[in-house]
Structure 1
């Protein structure tokens, strides 16, 4: 006999509770920031803090283009960082700093300890909670390194957005009291440091946590110690980097620039290289794993190579949009995403890391591809022909022009109009 879930186990109840929690957190953090900055400072801070958000979000979405996760996960991550994590950080940091100042009777030392020890622990833990929630409750959408980096980066982008409103609004209020303006103002200095020089700081820290969760997701189910320790190590690394960054001002007159140039920039470059390498690895996996489904009749012969090239994918979406409008382009985009997920699932299955629901998940993805084949296959076949390198044919040397001057290359062979896999 089937047991119906309790009311608190229903998906609608969980979604409602989560939305309510984030909405209340947003209202409270809005009131707290506005009280500290004033209405005018809040509006100025909001206008300046929003500037890096679009391109940071676009960078993480670009990274996730090969196998894009559901947009609702990204919305949740940003909302958690901007509302819940920011609220936890403000309340916990203030409480801890006051407690240390009272216990030690040293307010200056409490502020330094709060910035270099308490803040990294509290803030990175609060941001890591979003990654943990997606990892636990959206496990199918969390399959590797890229997923972890994207969720962590979007969460940190939301957190930095709220924090920048607070810092820039407070700086503007200080300038209003002192009468400073222009380049010499505190607002200009704060904007230069937080928006121009280091907009990637928080995403960089939290990406370490996401990297740990991503490696854990890629581990085999039997490797329990590894699956637990990797996220913990990633979180500890994020806290250490955050503490080093916050403590750079205590390292001397040029401590900030030394940490920025000798530590932050190289780590940022290394993570950027890792992200691009992982993206290319996913494309190679698509080209290597999907031919098995061509032999079984699920995919067309041209699809593995087309799906393994970002240029061909874009050409397929453009073709579908030109001939079928935006709905057809969305169908092709979903086809590309499902096919990539299928290839990554097959790779994990061959490595013994897919889990017990491999067969069920594989069938779901194949069914999703089959439902979209009418819109996707012509577009992908066109993209394969349009992006394929022109074949080079040997020709005898021309008496005047020498080698390479011969007959025109043969056209790319067209696929039959009839779908041989139509059931």
Structure 2
């Protein structure tokens, strides 16, 4: 059991670190990140088991031959998506676009995969080398990929005003996640050629999600460029601060300088200022396009907080 935990937790930490790096400009709050990860790791798995109480082994893939290939995806994907829809509905101010959808969705998937793999390894016993390569290495991103499909869709409709698009995209993304999951279950049952086909499909899907994330980076940088230029003109920030906030490389460089100059507290102050200025840019863009979930009055406390952090620095 301890070996199973180690073999699942360590790769999960590595994958989550990659996600943390992927979210470059505005890091999501730790409480929400932890909440969605825990949802995927505990309640989602538990509910999936309860959904197949007479045959709980099948839900986690122990006995694929006793059920249709679509049954487990049809149970698991909606359960994982519940937390994602919850963030989108009740914490909309923290859901800025496609990249946030990928981050939250993938975290849910990594949490689910971690628990699923731990149970799977512990139940098998003996040599688990081949299982480790299949479930953690070759297909370690699968659950994150499936749920991030829904996250991408929610990010795309974040600023959509056409009601029919919103109504169609949400169930369509869930159906797509179920289809990809079922396709994996079907192909993997055909041994070597099936494993190869399943890997090509999942790897291609993960690559597409990463490319979408890169496009989202560019979009978020465009928001920063567009909105913070005005802050230079009105004297709220200077040119050097603007150039630092718009560049992840310069952000890291300024944090290292702060570390040597004032220690960890100075690093936290610099990070907070960068984060708040990014939030300011995002909020101004949301107001510019008429986002109904934002108010002009939200700008004032945010600007005041930025000035307070600047005084501390």
TM-score by length of 2: 0.92
1:133-158 deviations in Å (ceiling 9; x for gaps): 11122121111111111111111111
Note if contact 2:49-2:56 (Cα within 8 Å) is conserved in structure 1.
Answer: no
Question: Which residue does 1:118 correspond to in 2?
Answer: 71
Task: Specify which structure has the higher proportion of helix.
Answer: 2
Work out the number of aligned pairs and report it: 309
Distance in 1, Cα, partners of 2:283 & 2:86: 21
Structure with the bigger RCO (C-alpha within 8 Å, sep 6+) is: 2
Match of 1:324 in 2: 262
Deviation at 1:253, TM superposition (A): 5.1
**Structure with max Cα Rg:** 1
Report whether the alignment pairs 1:141 with 2:94.
yes
Q: Which residue is 2:141 aligned to?
A: 200
Counterpart position of 1:269: 207
Could you tell me which runs of 5 or more consecutive residues in structure 1 were left unpaired when the two chains were aligned. 1-41, 100-107, 176-184, 377-423
SS of equivalent residue, structure 1 residue 163:
helix
Q: Distance in 1 between matches of 2:19 and 2:233?
A: 35
Cα 1:339/1:98, change in 2 over 3 Å: closer
| C-alpha separation in 2, matches of 1:260 and 1:188 | 18
Q: Cα deviations across residues 2-28 of structure 1 (Å, max 9, x unaligned)?
A: xxxxxxxxxxxxxxxxxxxxxxxxxxx
Partner of 1:292: 230
Q: Deviations over 1:283-324 (max 9, x none)?
A: 232122201112222212322222110111111212222222
Alignment check: 8 A CA contact 1:49 1:161 kept: yes
What aligned pairs does 1:16-415 form with structure 2 within 5 A after superposition? 42-95=1-54, 111-113=66-68, 116-172=69-125, 175=126, 185=127, 187-220=128-161, 223-251=162-190, 254-261=193-200, 263-352=201-290, 354-355=291-292, 357-375=294-312
Per the normalisation by structure 1, the TM-score is: 0.69
Structure 2: gaps (5+ residues): none
Q: Are the aligned partners of 1:164 and 1:194 in contact in 2 as well (CA < 8 Å)? A: yes
User: How far apart are the structure 1 equivalents of 2:268 and 2:57?
Assistant: 53
Q: Is the 8 A contact 2:224 2:281 kept in 1?
A: yes
User: In 1, distance between residues paired with 2:75 and 2:219?
Assistant: 34
- 8 Å Cα contact 1:86-1:162 kept in structure 2: yes
Write the distance in 2 (CA, Å) between the matches of 1:82 and 1:234.
Answer: 22
Alpha carbons of structure 1 residues 96 and 266: separation in structure 2 relative to 1, 3 Å: same
The answer as to whether partners of 1:216 and 1:228 remain within 8 angstroms in 2 is no
Q: Matched residues in 1 for 2:182 and 2:64: separation?
A: 15
